[in-house]
């Protein structure tokens, strides 16, 4: 990713809020591919003519195929405070998702225990007593149904790996394009999961901040353009 392609939603002396493209890693991973964190470091180094490596702190993550709003810290103090805020539930993270199938309940809370198999990078629903089990919760509301698909607004309570994808697959309504967890029912295509809203408190000023970014207008998202425009972002 070139720094010219970086979409910045907000920048000040302490934080940088950007739009993460789909299929771009948010930080270095085992693939060795270029990633958003390193791109931000290059941007800071060039923009501010910094000597040596520029600092950028990873505060939260998005799965590689998921796009949307992310905040990075520009100072170690901001990184520490944002990380603590994230740990204490001070972030509100909302997503849009297109589901294959319609959940039986149009508005509900999903609670599960999840376990990650680090060998194959697959996350499973498990029992509370299983080794490595972590509590996961989200709430959702179905905004529109069309042609066997459902447009959902999701509020993430916890930030587990692949959480939204695994939890919706567990009720037999996988996220569109999620062949890993939904199998053939998920249908082939770009993953229809988008982090559209991020709310947090500024780590230095204490200001309440919210940033939004609508999902792409191509692919399966085109099927729900009317409902997207009617939602009060």
pLDDT per position as a tens digit, 51-107? 888 999 999 999 999 999 999 999 999 999 999 999 999 999 999 999 999 999 999
Catalytic residue annotation: 63
And the tokens for 188?
Answer: 């082939």
Can you give the pLDDT at residue 231? 62
CA-to-CA distance for 185 and 93, rounded, in angstroms? 27
And the tokens for 60?
Answer: 């939260």
pTM over 0.85: yes
Whether the per-residue pLDDT at 133 is higher than 90: the answer is: yes
Which comes out higher in pLDDT, residue 30 or 151? 151
User: Which residues, 6 or more positions from 85, have their beta carbon under 8 angstroms from its beta carbon?
Assistant: 91, 200, 201, 203
As a whole-number percent, the residues of the chain with pLDDT over 90 amount to 84
218 — pLDDT class (breaks 50, 70, 90) = confident
């Amino acid at each position: 990713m070139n720094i010219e392609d970086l979409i910045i939603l907000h920048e000040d002396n302490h934080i940088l809020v950007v739009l993460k493209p789909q299929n771009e890693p948010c930080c270095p991973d085992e693939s060795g591919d270029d990633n958003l964190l390193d791109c931000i470091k290059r941007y800071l180094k060039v923009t501010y003519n910094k000597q040596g490596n520029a600092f950028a702190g990873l505060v939260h993550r998005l799965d590689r195929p998921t796009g949307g709003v992310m905040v990075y810290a520009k100072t170690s103090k901001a990184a520490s405070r944002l990380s603590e805020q994230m740990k204490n539930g001070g972030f509100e993270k909302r997503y849009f998702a297109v589901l294959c199938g319609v959940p039986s309940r149009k508005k509900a809370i999903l609670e599960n225990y999840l376990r990650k198999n680090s060998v194959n990078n697959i996350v499973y629903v498990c029992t509370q007593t299983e080794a490595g089990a972590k509590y996961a919760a989200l709430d959702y509301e179905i905004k529109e149904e069309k042609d066997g698909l459902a447009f959902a607004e999701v509020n993430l309570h916890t930030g587990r790996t692949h959480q939204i994808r695994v939890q919706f697959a567990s009720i037999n309504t996988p996220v569109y394009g999620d062949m890993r967890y939904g199998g053939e029912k998920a249908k082939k295509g770009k993953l229809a999961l988008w982090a559209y809203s991020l709310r947090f408190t500024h780590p230095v000023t204490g200001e309440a901040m919210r940033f939004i970014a609508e999902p792409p207008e191509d692919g399966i998202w085109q099927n729900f353009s009317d409902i997207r425009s009617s939602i009060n972002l």
